[in-house]
Chains A and B, each alone.
Chain A
Amino acid sequence: MAPAARGAGGDLKILYWQAPTILNPHQAGGTKDNDASRLMIEPMAAYGPDGKPIAVLAAEIPTVANGGVSKDLTTVTWKLKPGLKWSDGSAFSSADVVFSWTYRCDKDSATTTFSKCADVASVKASDPNTAVVTYTAPNANFYLWGVGSTEGILQQTQFKDCVGTKAKDCPANLKPIGTGPYKLVEFKPGDVTTYDINPNYRDANKPYFKTVTLKGGGDAESAARAVCQTGDIDYGWNLNVPLSVLQPMLSAADSKCQFPISYNALERVTLNFANPDAALGAKRSEPDTKHPYLSDIHVRRALAMASNRAQIAEKQYGKPGGEAYCNVAVFPRSKNTDSLDVCKYDLAAAEKELQDNGWVKGTDGIRAKGNVKLVISYITTTSAIRQNNQQILKADWEKIGFKVNISNSIADTFFTNTAPDGYAKFFADLQEFASSQDPDATDFMDSNYTCANVTGQANNWNNGNTGRYCNPDYDAVIKSLKAETDQAKRDALVIQANDILVKDVAVISLVNRTAPTANGFAKTLKGVKQSPFESSLYDIADWSK
């Protein structure tokens, strides 16, 4: 394809059913804000579709081979592209890079991207075109700082008075100046954002579209209609609707939309290893209690074997939505689990597992052992797909002698550490939700399943391990993973950790969903290369019609 002329296209119309409310990625309240700011604010490099970094502001990706990364894996030297300019025409320099680090790592700035600051000892400008990052210790994940959608560089001139407590209500948060392909025209928080081409953008032939309108609000179903049926919208974000709604729109003769396929969001059923019995009062779901029947591996195995992942993936998600998945880690993907019985749907085997291990059917058809009955409470967020998943799983589980009570709560409440029907307090036996992983799975595997991260009253229900799963063998593998610097060995350790979780049924994975989100876009839109690790709009400069 010949390079399209800059600004030859007209207006690009994007629809986000969750509307952006702020345009500073470091103060973002969610993906929507990150994405809306990404048209202007850029990082040093982006994670490409294969998880490998692509240079954005950097002239090249530093590696050990090209000398950009020190042999001991503690310092990384980032060379900037020459002649970079901000959209207001002023020169971009390494001082801005250093400033952005100062800004986001000032505790009082209260940035949402603060977590990586602990691993970075300093960011220094060795010359106007070079920034040097020094980690506190040798870091195998040396792209931690600088690569990805959380790593945007802010303009020092604009934000210099916004550091610390003043960051909270800084006007620049709503109209940042950036280096990206577009500059802001108007921003109405929670409604619509309009952009115009950045005349100082580094690539003379890009972007193709002259203006961008990012409309917010509504719901996923109507967004899908606007993209696939009326064609009013060129790009719709997170069209997460049941396949039975989406399929007729896709297969219609005049369907106007397509979906990229890149999976990296694990939809899973988390099992509660603590006891959620209300009679326990303050001890409810505390890590030192034990679940009456989910602590029994046979019960967990039976649940896993009676979970029809293939049917859920095929009927609820389809190709645009996700694939059936039994592993926990997405990158790298374990092959060892393919043959495991807990990954195969087999009702008879599941029933046998319960029968052989003392769980016998009572007169009411519910299996029990002693006075422990297999009555399950299963909660998730309010969403058409998830409610269907619940009902499909319930039907199968009840066939083998469980009694399942399902319930749901709106996402806004579910994802809090205060709500009794929230995911953190987890006053239920099972819960279902999804989250994505970095190309390096360490963070995910650590925060979700190690003993140190078990959530509970002691940490104000802030920790990530909501299943309260604790297994010293697993912790040992994660410990060596964190210390390992050789990539091949790291991959082997991730797979080893993954296999432990799957065999032990610490969690029941269902579907590996489309990532970053199930975005649908016009068939006429070209050049879109979604990356499961990046903001949905990271490559908007390459899009054309």
Chain B
Amino acid sequence: MATAAKVSPASAGRSAVVLRAQRSLWQDAWHTFSRDRLAVTGLVVLAVITLGALVGPYVWSDQGKEIDFGLSLSGPSLAHPFGNDDLGRDLLARAMLGARVSLAVGVSAVVLAITLGTTIGAVAGYFGRLDNPLMRLTDLFLSLPVLPLLLVLVYLFKDTLQRTIGLELGTFIMIVSVIGFLNWMPTARLVRASFLTLKQREFVEAARSVGAPHGRIIFRHILPNSLSPVLVAATIGIGGAIITESTLSFLGLGFPPDQPTLGRILYEAVNYLDFAPHWAIVPGLAIFLIVLAINFIGDGLRDALDPRRKI
């Protein structure tokens, strides 16, 4: 199977037909994905940002936490290419520190929300018996008052979590779970709706008639066809999660005030928009690029995984 990549251009036309049957779904998907220019661009951008976030703080000497009122709100310069904030801290360094946390929170929270939502939606849509109870649970979560709920969660868990697994990891898990557990409902509704329609389709009934087990029907036949709404929800969710994190910080539920995140830097910058607009540029641009890259990747993935594409 690995030979597929090494086929010489001359014989590509003929062998492709032969080899296609041998390629697994995932290899096939990667093949399509790698030809999608936008998707690959997205992947590269995301990789660059991730690398910047992981390595940047070690390379860029300024720690981003040094307070220097002499540099307060000064614009971009050679020493500080993105300028400084009100306490005179280097914004590039802060953005790199912030991107690390924001990316981790955004991706983990969305993975959690999508996994939960897809599972609940799939089960509800596929097994008619469980539909009602699961959807009523969804209603319950949709209508819970978020803010008091958050306050109760802090009240009950913050201390314990931070004590057992440390301040940073504890806060991280807390935030990811809060965003994840409060955002799975739309995905569940979408997946369920998709399942309700698809399970009546011919190909599913065909699979059922040849005695395919439920698991196989769900994972092989219906789920790949429902990926589109899931991916849309996921890619929209990441931007949302990065912003939501900043809101949580301002409720005292998020990271401590000296831990920058992209959302928080943007939030702090807002009040200076008219006389220090440079402050908002780094975090705003970074969030936008992350969202853009992830959406391109999501689109590429969807196309690559779409079973109908091959028709």
Binding site for B on A (CB under 8 A): 221, 241-242, 244-245, 248, 278, 311, 315, 382, 384, 387-388, 390-392, 394-395, 405-410, 413-414, 419-421, 427
Contacts and interface: CB of A to CB of B under 8 A. Distances in A.
A394 B158 CA distance: 22
Nearest to A381: B252
B87 A391 contact: yes
Contact of B155 (A244, A410, A414, A419): A419
Nearest to B69: A315
5 contacts: A221-B271, A391-B258, A392-B87, A395-B65, A409-B252
Contacts of B36: none
Given A407-B252, A408-B252, A421-B252, A244 B67 contact: no
A384 B252 contact: no
Nearest to B250: A382
Interface residues of A, dominant DSSP: helix
Name the residue among B67, B73, B252 with the largest chain A CB count within 10 angstroms: B252
B101 to A, nearest CB: 16
B256 A413 contact: no
B167 A382 contact: no
B67 A384 contact: no
Interface residues of B, number: 26
B257 A278 contact: no
Given A278-B163, A311-B69, A391-B67, A241 B271 contact: yes
B252 A382 contact: yes
B272 A245 contact: yes
Given A244-B73, A388-B86, A409-B252, A421 B158 contact: yes
Given A245-B272, A382-B252, A390 B257 contact: yes
A234 B167 CA distance: 46
Interface of B: 65-67, 69, 72-73, 86-87, 151, 154-155, 158-159, 163, 167, 250-252, 256-258, 268, 271-272, 274-275
A384 B268 contact: yes
The 3 A-B residue pairs with the shortest CB-CB distance in the complex, in nearest-first order? A409-B252, A387-B257, A244-B86
Given A245-B272, A413-B252, A388 B87 contact: yes
A382 B251 contact: yes
A48 B83 CA distance: 47
Nearest to B259: A406
Contact of B151 (A241, A311, A382, A413): A413
Contacts of A390: 257-258
A420 B257 CA distance: 18
B173 to A, nearest CB: 16
A421 B72 CA distance: 31
B169 to A, nearest CB: 14
A12 B110 CA distance: 50
Contacts of A414: 252
A67 B4 CA distance: 108
A406 B155 contact: no
Contacts, number: 65
B162 to A, nearest CB: 9
Contact of B154 (A384, A394, A421): A421
Contacts of B69: 311, 315
Contacts of A315: 69, 72
Contacts of B72: 244, 315
Nearest to B85: A244
Contacts of A421: 154, 158, 252
Given A410-B251, A421-B252, 5 more contacts: A311-B69, A382-B252, A392-B87, A413-B252, A419-B155
A358 B159 CA distance: 31
Contacts of B87: 388, 391-392
Contacts of B250: 382, 410
B311 to A, nearest CB: 55
Contacts of A392: 67, 87
A87 B30 CA distance: 80
A408 B67 contact: no
Nearest to A224: B271
Contacts of B155: 419-420
A431 to B, nearest CB: 13
A421 B251 CA distance: 12
Contacts of B268: 384
A390 B87 CA distance: 12
Q: Which of A390, A407, A421, A427 gathers most chain B CB within 10 Å?
A: A407
A245 B268 CA distance: 11
Nearest to A422: B155
A245 B250 CA distance: 18
Contacts of B167: 405
B112 to A, nearest CB: 24
A388 B271 CA distance: 15
Nearest to A377: B167
Contacts of B154: 409, 421
B82 to A, nearest CB: 17
Contact of A391 (B73, B163, B257): B257
Given A244-B73, A408-B257, A427 B86 contact: no
Contact of A245 (B151, B158, B271): B271
Contacts of A410: 250-252
A242 B158 CA distance: 29
A382 B154 CA distance: 15
Contacts of A388: 86-87
Given A221-B271, A384-B271, A413-B151, A407 B67 contact: no
Most buried by A among B66, B73, B86, B257: B257
A420 B86 contact: no
Contacts of A406: 256-258
A395 B65 CA distance: 8
Contacts of A427: 159
A196 B125 CA distance: 61
Contacts of A248: 274-275
A159 B202 CA distance: 75
A382 B253 CA distance: 10
A462 B210 CA distance: 71
A238 to B, nearest CB: 16
A163 B257 CA distance: 47
Nearest to B65: A395
Contacts of B67: 391-392, 395
